[in-house]
Structure 1
Amino acid sequence: MLLVARAGLMALVAVVLVVAGVWASWGNVSTAMAGDVRGTVRIAECGDGECSGPFSGAGDGGGGKQPAKVSVAEFVAGERGETLDVAVKPGSRHAVRTGPAGVLYAWVPVGGALLLASLVVAGGLRMRRTAWAMGLGGALIMGGAWALLSF
């Protein structure tokens, strides 16, 4: 009975980790993949982990409410003067990068959750092949985001 309880508890911990990763990612993922207000931002200044610049919208998505200036995370911004494709989060002046690099970066919390959950699956459930697949998937998400954003 204790073995079944332990397996159930470890499975629950692994599921909670992955669900928390999806929950943490979803706000950025939904905006990066299907954001209404899309356009470009030209990076003008950086500080406190964020870069900002003037926003040029493509069309009038979001009912014509386009901010004149938006901010993006400094890690995805690149250098000053660079122009990025972005989507603006609804009701804010914060933008997320779009395209393959931005979408993959938005999924990074899921990649980290998969890495953590793989340790629980390997150690607690003794499912080593499944754990290797989960860990490899998480590492590919995180490494792919870093590689796409670096180039």
Structure 2
Amino acid sequence: MLHIQFPEPDFRFQGERGQEMIWDSIRRKWVRLTPEEWVRQNFVRYLTGGKGYPPSLIAIEKQIRLGELNKRYDIAVYHNTHPWLVIECKEPDVPINQKVLEQILRYNSRLTAAYLVLTNGHQHFGWQICEGRFKLLDALPDWPELV
């Protein structure tokens, strides 16, 4: 299991039509604050603040085509214009199980990232994929280690 300590939150909030909104600095827009969005925003802050990943290389909820279906991944970090890390976020009450793992593996069949992460904000699992083998991680590399 990954050991992740989210940074102290410093998010911007606003109410809109009776719904709480949170500012997404990556997408540069207000988005509805759902439990899954809370996890997603905290993980992005961890990547940029805790690990030094450049915000300009992070994509959130981009569409991909899987066979006949259009799907959206939660977070991807790009390196040399290719997805390097893909993160699947679930709301805190959703267990990280085989079904969630299969979901990110389907996404990665298209994206072919070297790192995969599953998180619900409480539990975080990560793998490095090298030559078709999955190595369970206890930490993600810091960005300067990559360049």
State if a TM-score over 0.5 links the two structures.
no
TM-score by length of 1: 0.22
Structure number with the bigger relative contact order (C-alpha 8 A, sep ≥ 6) is: 1
Name which one, 1 or 2, has greater alpha-carbon Rg.
1
- Structure holding more strand per residue: 2
Task: Give 1 or 2: higher helix fraction.
Answer: 1
